[in-house]
Amino acid sequence: MASVFTRIIEGELPGTFVWKDDRAVAFLSIAPLRPGHVLVVPREEVDHWLDCPADLRDHMMAVAAEIGHALQDVYEPAKVGLMIAGLEVPHLHIHLLPIDDVHDMDFSNARPAERDDLESEAARIREALTKRGAKGVSA
């Protein structure tokens, strides 16, 4: 059975994308810890990051860095946090989010987001990616 992320990637479920390429996608979390909370997800269903082929893992980290720079530009946080937790969905994903404090990465802060808010945040991130010359910006 396809993971919820595969269903989003394939368009069966809605997703607010900021990045798409042949190996990975990135979309906003529907339950963000903070505005700008992005998930970088491989198209290939890999559950545990330790099982991820090195070249795919490296590609995902490169995508995460591109998006991380855009998040820094848009939100001007103290840092852009990165986390691989992997307990919520059995499909590898990297959490990226603007943070000013370690508590900003606490999953108890997650709140459902409105689709319009996600679209607005995604537009800001896509614009920053485009200004940076990123190649995988989604339409």
How many Cα atoms occupy the beta-carbon half-sphere of 100 within 13 Å?
6
Which residues of the chain fall below pLDDT 50? Answer: none
pLDDT tens digit string along 36-47?
999 999 999 999
- What pLDDT does 40 receive? 98
Task: State CA 97 to chain mean position distance.
Answer: 8
Domains, the chain, with CATH or none: 4-131 (3.30.428.10)
45 contacts: CB under 8 Å, gap ≥ 6: 2, 3, 5, 6, 91
Residue ranges with strand state E in 4-123: 17-20, 24-28, 38-42, 79-83, 94-99
pLDDT value, residue 138: 83
pLDDT of amino acid 86? 84
| pTM, two decimal places | 0.96
